[in-house]
Amino acid sequence: MREATAIAHPNVALIKYWGKRDSAANLPAVGSLSIGLGALSTRTTVRFEPGAAADTVVLNGNELPAENSKVTLCLDMLRQIAGVDAGAVVTSANDFPTGAGLASSASGYAALVTAGAAALDLDLSSQQLSAIARTGSGSASRSLFGGFVLLRNDGDDTTCAPVLAPEEWPLAVVVAVTSDEPKAVSSRYGMEQSRLTSPYYRQWVDGHDADLEAGLRCVMERDFAGLAAVAEHSCLKMHAVMMATRPPLLYWSAATMACLDAVRALRGEGEEVFFTVDAGPQVKAVCTAAAIDRVAGTLQSVPGVLRVIVSHLGDGARLTDDHD
Ligand code: 2P0
């Protein structure tokens, strides 16, 4: 046994995932379509220690409480395949805010399973790693792959696969960071509350396949205007489900709303840009290369925006020899 280090990028869903059909297995109620954020990274080293009874997880320099069981759940699946029972030391760092609606769990679990499998000398496919990462975080299964990624429910199966490489449609994402604070309500808890209490949850699930297919068609045809329309619709519909949850899940701040107005105004002036917002107050503006400078400059000047991050589309999770 040895140690291995992996890098993974967070992703942002254009057609959103919210809700589970099986909480225990962490199976999503709906599919999703995402793009990877190449400018943001998680770097994770996994070292299995013969004789160690438990896993130790250090995230951004702080040791996590031992009951952080989702990491152990993923590692247990790898240990079972490898036939070993050694505990692991996991050291992970993000170069962006953690737990603040920037999908740190997606890149985190994708890097974890990639490094963990390599440390155990397992030769698993990206699909197998994606399914293991999904037990840690549903969105993590998408970060195993680069570019545009489709997660789809297919009968009882959930499958995840790349649909376009980054260079096949090199869009960009301008992230307007409006807060560095961790979110108050986790996605996992929030989704379950939405399933149990939101009057719009059933309509969300029932109408979702049509949005997913429309989004996929727009990606395959490089139809920016069509993708903008269905992606903003999916985002706003998900937030309607969240807002109608009891107690309400209101992830937006005044700065979030101001950014949405700014993106819509830019599009009204002919720029190819649309917004999406996840379980946090940050706004991600997806745009063509030609629009990057204007989108970034405009969002930077919106009151309440702390900074903007410009990202190209990211590659999938991968091993690295660089241990810095
Ligand atoms: C998404 N989100 O599609 C949606 C949009 C947030 C809003 O996937 O419970 O951390 O671990 O599967 O993956 C965030 O949820 O939740 C998420 P679990 P996860 O990107």
45-100 per-position pLDDT tens digit: 999 999 898 999 999 999 988 766 899 999 999 999 999 999 999 999 999 876 66
Question: Which CATH number goes with the domain that contains 36?
Answer: 3.30.230.10
**pLDDT score of 102:** 72
Residue 190 Cβ inside 6 Å of ligand 1? The answer reads no
Same domain flag for 78 and 59: yes
How do the residues of the chain divide into helix, strand and coil, expressed in percent and rounded to 5?
A: 40, 25, 35
Q: Which ligand 1 atom sits nearest the alpha carbon of residue 191? A: 9
Residue 234 Cβ inside 6 Å of ligand 1? The answer reads no
This prediction has a pTM of 0.95
Q: Average of pLDDT values for 118-146?
A: 97
Same domain flag for 192 and 229: yes
Same domain flag for 135 and 12: yes
For the purposes of burial, counting CB atoms within 10 Å of the CB of 188, is it exposed (0-12), middle (13-18) or buried (19 or more)? middle
Q: Which of 126, 147, 165 is the last residue of a domain?
A: 165
**pLDDT score of 103:** 72
Residue 152 Cβ inside 6 Å of ligand 1? The answer reads no
Residue 188 alpha carbon to ligand 1 centre in Å? 7
Residue 26 Cβ inside 6 Å of ligand 1? The answer reads yes
Report the chain's terminal Cα–Cα distance, integer Å: 21
210, part of any domain: yes
What is the extent of the structural domain holding 72?
A: 3-165
Residue 188 Cβ inside 6 Å of ligand 1? The answer reads yes
**pLDDT score of 68:** 60
CA-nearest of 157, 155, 131 to 145 is 131
**pLDDT score of 67:** 67
Residue 139 Cβ inside 6 Å of ligand 1? The answer reads yes
Same domain flag for 145 and 185: no
Residue 245 Cβ inside 6 Å of ligand 1? The answer reads no
CA angle 207–172–98, rounded 5-degree value: 80
Say whether 34 sits in a helix, a strand or coil: strand
105, part of any domain: yes
**pLDDT score of 100:** 61
Residue 140 alpha carbon to ligand 1 centre in Å? 8
Atom 15 (ligand 1): residue with closest C-alpha? 187
Residue 251 Cβ inside 6 Å of ligand 1? The answer reads no
Q: Which of 104, 134, 165 is the last residue of a domain?
A: 165
Residue 11 Cβ inside 6 Å of ligand 1? The answer reads no
**pLDDT score of 265:** 98
Residue 131 alpha carbon to ligand 1 centre in Å? 15
Write down the mean pLDDT value for the chain.
Answer: 95
Domain count, the chain: 2
Task: Tell me if 294 sits within 8 A of 265, measured CB to CB.
Answer: no
Same domain flag for 86 and 153: yes
Residue 30 alpha carbon to ligand 1 centre in Å? 11
**pLDDT score of 101:** 66
Residue 137 alpha carbon to ligand 1 centre in Å? 7
86, part of any domain: yes
